[in-house]
């Protein structure tokens, strides 16, 4: 099964769908892999992650991603679009043109995997919307939406994932359902495919997180974070959906 996974940034697909991409001969296409403009300086996020120069940090992240592709046995492909922190405004992006660029990578793929944009990060939304258009252009009738990690566990894993009752004062499922509805996705949170990571899968994901060393601390995925909350590495979620051809939305298969 030849999978092409669309990743907004240099880590999203691998962090969110490691079990499905590992050893499958997958291709991971990162949309926002472009370098900052010459003389850009350093973005706020890059400063938060300890960088003093965004161009140097982006080069470091590209090297990190190459390491992760080796861990997954996947092929990394990269578009030169600049992510939000390196560009002036979303209006600079032409979704149809971007969809055309992505579609060239989806032709011939058995499955197209796209971010569900849980958390509604602007770049994730763009990657999903352009990816949906691209899938149609490439003749796909179905796509798989993966749950963006670690945003999907903002309030922990829902009870339908863990099989354990929700806490009296914390229930993650209504928030996840709202995220899908707000995105215009006519799918139910509880219909997700749930991948329970076995020890080998957890070890692989731990190694992937370690390879994305420049981002792990800011994403609260350091070794000490995982030691305190090992359940973070317990699962991965995805939704298989049919394309309905209307307004870049999806419906249950």
Structure tokens at 55: 């161009």
Residue-level pLDDT at 246? 43
Residue-level pLDDT at 247? 37
The model's pTM: 0.93
More confident of the two residues 222 and 1: 222
Residue 253 has pLDDT above 60, yes or no: no
d(CA 184, CA 249): 6
d(CA 53, CA 128): 29
Mean pLDDT on 142-159: 97
Residue-level pLDDT at 91? 54
- Residues 6 or more apart from 9 whose CB is under 8 A from it? 30, 32, 83, 123
**Ordered alpha helix ranges (H), the chain:** 12-16, 18-21, 44-48, 54-72, 95-106, 122-137, 159-162, 172-182, 199-211, 213-216, 223-228
- Residues 6 or more apart from 147 whose CB is under 8 A from it? 16, 116, 118, 192, 236, 237, 238, 239
Mean pLDDT of the chain: 93
Instruction: Give the CATH number for residue 226.
Output: 3.40.50.10320
Q: How confident is the model at residue 238 (pLDDT cuts 50, 70, 90)?
A: very high
Mean pLDDT on 136-142: 96
Closest CA relative to residue 152, chosen from 240, 219, 226: 219
Range of the domain at 62: 3-252
In this structure, how many other beta carbons lie within 10 angstroms of the beta carbon of residue 186? 13
Q: Please write the tens of the pLDDT for every residue from 28-62.
A: 999 999 999 999 999 999 999 999 999 999 999 99
Q: Please write the tens of the pLDDT for every residue from 64-89.
A: 999 999 999 999 999 999 999 999 86
Domain total of the chain:
1
Mean pLDDT on 224-250: 82
- Residues 6 or more apart from 102 whose CB is under 8 A from it? 6, 29, 31, 79, 130, 131, 134
More confident of the two residues 250 and 139: 139
Residue 248 has pLDDT above 70, yes or no: no
Residue-level pLDDT at 89? 66
d(CA 21, CA 95): 26
């Amino acid at each position: 099964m030849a999978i092409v996974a669309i990743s907004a940034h240099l880590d999203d697909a691998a962090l969110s769908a490691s079990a499905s991409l590992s050893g499958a001969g997958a291709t991971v296409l990162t949309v926002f892999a472009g370098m900052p403009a010459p003389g850009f300086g350093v973005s706020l996020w890059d400063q938060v992650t300890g960088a003093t120069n965004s161009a140097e940090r982006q080069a470091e992240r590209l090297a990190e991603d190459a390491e992760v592709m080796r861990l997954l046995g996947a092929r990394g492909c990269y578009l030169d679009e600049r992510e939000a922190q390196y560009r002036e405004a979303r209006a600079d992006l032409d979704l149809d043109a971007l969809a055309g660029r992505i579609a060239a990578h989806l032709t011939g793929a058995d499955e197209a995997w796209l971010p569900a944009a849980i958390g509604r990060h602007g770049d994730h939304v763009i990657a999903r919307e352009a990816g949906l258009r691209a899938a149609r252009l490439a003749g796909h009738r179905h796509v798989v939406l993966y749950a963006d990690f670690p945003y999907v566990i903002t309030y922990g894993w829902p009870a339908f994932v863990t099989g354990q009752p929700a806490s009296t004062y914390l229930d993650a499922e209504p928030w996840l359902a709202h995220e899908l509805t707000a995105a215009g996705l006519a799918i139910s949170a509880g219909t997700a495919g749930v991948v329970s990571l076995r020890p080998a899968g957890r070890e692989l994901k731990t190694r992937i997180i370690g390879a994305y060393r420049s981002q792990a601390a800011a994403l609260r995925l350091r070794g000490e974070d995982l030691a305190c909350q090992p359940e973070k590495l317990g699962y991965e979620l995805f939704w298989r959906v049919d394309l309905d051809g209307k307004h870049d939305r999806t419906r249950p298969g």
